[in-house]
């Protein structure tokens, strides 16, 4: 009996996922000219986006406002019940309002309409009924209606709030793209935490750049000389350069083990004979996260940092990324 009950609950959870996923996918059919108009209105606005909604719609509105703000569109959440007690003063003639109401008849939102219309503030409405009061007053309307809620009682906002959130995310990401919002811009709004650390550093900030400390060997140096160099520098590798100082190869601790097993007499070997040619490199101006991505993709622990002429100017190790909190 208990096993059957657990199975039933798993199936119910899967049904919730299906209903909510379907509610999002159906939004694709309702996006078009309304999105282009909304993007234009918000981009050309000199003020902020004021997001408002009551109850569960209010919770979703807070998240949409937060996402907009963190991706380059200044936004503020206004509680509609508080708005009638003075908070509506935050709305200026330069702003854009996004009002969220599944029914389109939320009293607290309707109380804001006289002020919005008097100030001629553009009104973007997320609602499930275009013939509702809010829907009819909208300058731009987004249909977030759903066929049914995931709640088996049909009462708790579930699929409808998921659809609303997805619509808000779509709007925010389109605004991000239209503004040309970059990784560096994102950092300005996330200076701390894991998100910030990921974009806080460029390779040049973290790499070993002291040339005296870099394990640089030449193509014609002997293999044993380079093994000694790697041991002294303690970075687990050596950067191999040609006569012009350009990087042409790499020798790592792993290479050394494989070479010792392969060659009976390593005393006659030169770096050019056994080095890994065309090693992966990175620029000092690249983001540290790019270095991490390279290391993960190619299963390596260090990267040579080269200038535009392919001359080594540093080396970045996985440990450098770990210490900085990037990895």
Sorted by where each begins, the domain ranges of the chain are: 2-181, 203-324
The top-level CATH class assigned to 203-324 is alpha beta
pLDDT of the residue at 199: 58
Tell the CATH superfamily of the 2-181 domain.
Answer: Glucose-6-phosphate isomerase like protein; domain 1 (3.40.50.10490)
Chunked mean pLDDT (size 10), the chain, 327 residues: 65 93 94 95 94 95 93 90 71 94 94 91 96 96 94 87 96 91 61 56 90 93 94 92 95 92 93 93 91 90 94 93 78
Q: Whole-prediction pTM value? A: 0.60
Task: Please give the angle made by the CA atoms of 193, 322 and 289, to the nearest 5 degrees.
Answer: 70
pLDDT confidence of residue 181 = 72
Q: In the prediction, which pLDDT does 1 show?
A: 46
Looking at residue 326, what is its pLDDT?
76
- Would you say the C-alpha torsion 41, 44, 50, 56 has a positive or negative sign? positive
Looking from the CA of 80 toward its CB, the CA atoms found within 13 Å total 26
Q: Which pairs from 130-136 meet CB under 8 Å and 24+ separation?
A: 130/104, 131/104, 132/101, 132/103, 132/104, 132/105, 133/104, 133/105, 134/99, 134/101, 134/104, 134/105, 134/106, 134/109, 134/110, 135/104
pLDDT of residue 202: 87
């Amino acid at each position: 009996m208990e096993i059957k009950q657990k199975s039933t609950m798993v199936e119910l959870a899967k049904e919730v996922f299906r209903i909510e996923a379907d509610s999002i996918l159906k939004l694709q059919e309702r996006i078009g000219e309304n999105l282009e108009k909304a993007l234009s209105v918000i981009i050309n606005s000199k003020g902020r986006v004021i997001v408002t909604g009551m109850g569960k719609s209010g919770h979703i509105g807070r998240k949409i406002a937060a996402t907009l703000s963190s991706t380059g569109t200044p936004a503020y959440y206004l509680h509609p019940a508080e708005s009638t007690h003075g908070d509506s003063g935050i709305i200026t003639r330069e702003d854009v309002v996004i009002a969220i109401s599944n029914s389109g008849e939320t009293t607290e939102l309707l109380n804001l309409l006289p002020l919005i219309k008097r100030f001629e503030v553009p009104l973007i409405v997320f609602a499930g009924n275009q013939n509702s009061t809010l829907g009819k007053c909208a300058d731009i309307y987004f249909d977030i209606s759903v066929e049914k809620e995931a709640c088996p009682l049909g009462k708790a906002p579930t699929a409808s709030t998921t659809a609303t959130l997805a619509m808000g995310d779509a709007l925010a990401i389109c605004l991000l793209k239209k503004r040309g919002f970059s990784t560096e811009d994102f950092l300005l709004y996330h200076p701390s935490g894991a998100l910030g650390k990921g974009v806080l550093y460029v390779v040049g900030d973290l790499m070993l750049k002291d040339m005296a400390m870099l394990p640089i060997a030449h193509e014609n140096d002997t293999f044993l000389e380079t093994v000694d160099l790697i041991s002294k520098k303690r970075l687990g590798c050596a950067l191999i350069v040609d006569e012009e100082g350009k990087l042409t190869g790499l020798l790592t601790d792993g290479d050394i083990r494989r070479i010792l097993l392969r060659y009976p007499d390593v005393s006659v070997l030169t770096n050019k004979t056994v080095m890994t040619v065309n090693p992966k490199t990175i620029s000092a101006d690249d983001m540290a996260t790019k270095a991490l991505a390279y290391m993960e993709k190619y299963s390596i622990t260090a990267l040579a940092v080269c200038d535009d002429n392919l001359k080594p100017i540093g080396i970045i190790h996985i440990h450098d990324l770990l210490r900085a909190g990037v990895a």
